[in-house]
Amino acid sequence: MSHYVHVAAVTILFSFGLLTFADAGKVLVVALDGSHWLSMRPVVDLLRQKGHQIVVLAPDISLHIQVSQGFEVKFYPVSHSREKLKDHSSSFSAEILTKRPILQKIQKTQQKMKEGAALMLDTCVQLLKNRELIESLEETTFDVVFINPMFPCGPILAEHLSVPSVYILHGLPCNIEAKATQCPTPLSYVPRGLSVLSDHMTFLQRLQNFAAEIGAGFFCNILYATYQQMASEFLQREVNIQELLSHAAIWLISSDFIHDYPKPVMPNMVFIGGINCVQRKPLNQCMQFFNQE
């Protein structure tokens, strides 16, 4: 699976002219804890091994991000506690393992997403209002910003610094990555998240898919409203999340068409589906559950 790490790293290097024999590039990594960081870390390690200078921005309350001798980590304070972060992580995992009717599953999952969004919002607020840290970034020349766009503060910061950005993600709520890249996602055969539909749908199933799209759009308008206001104030111009995400140069998609149904993608989307399997371990309880399904 290390192939996927090399694909991700080489894509970044070639895209921004960092793959040279003489000069190393400088990469700013806007990190968030959990699976976000676990997906980014193999790529960050390979970039470091290639001689590029890495600066990681991270909240001081995290479960996985630690001081490293291989690259610089700039921690910034957040207001939530480690216990609250751990409680959310464990309860969200438990919800994934719980079998429920589809409507209850969507409701419960959205509730957990709201709780996680509140933690992310606090993290973003604390980062953007840290003037000392922001000023130090403004005084530094970066070649590229490496971001998981699930954390909207990353795209906001990249836009503020006027630095090209590379995104790594599995997917975003409401299929917003397709909207940001103007990628077609026809409801007739691209199932929406949590819809439990396939790419072959009856007429009634397409209506169900349409209803899922409307519900997700309503949820995301609420989810991203605060970030849009924050981004507009920070950048001092009117902006929305879809516009911010549209400025990404490369999208590294940690999925593939073995896991997801085929769908249209844009030329700057690169699939690196096996990157989360770089560190091979026995199946945990969560993966055993899905394997049984």
Measured between alpha carbons, how far is 274 from 4 in angstroms, rounded to an integer?
A: 6
Alpha helices (H) along the chain: 2-15, 35-49, 82-97, 102-128, 131-138, 153-161, 176-180, 203-235, 241-245, 285-292
What is the average per-residue pLDDT within 213-222?
80
How many CB atoms sit inside 10 A of residue 23's CB?
Answer: 11
Supply the mean pLDDT for the chain: 82
Q: Inform me whether the pLDDT recorded for 24 exceeds 50.
A: yes
Measured between alpha carbons, how far is 231 from 164 in angstroms, rounded to an integer?
A: 17
Measured between alpha carbons, how far is 142 from 28 in angstroms, rounded to an integer?
A: 6
Measured between alpha carbons, how far is 255 from 276 in angstroms, rounded to an integer?
A: 9
Q: Inform me whether the pLDDT recorded for 16 exceeds 90.
A: no
For 78-132, what is each residue's pLDDT tens digit? Answer: 887 777 767 767 777 677 777 777 777 777 777 777 777 777 888 899 999 999 9
Q: Give the chain's domains with CATH numbers.
A: 2-287 (3.40.50.2000)
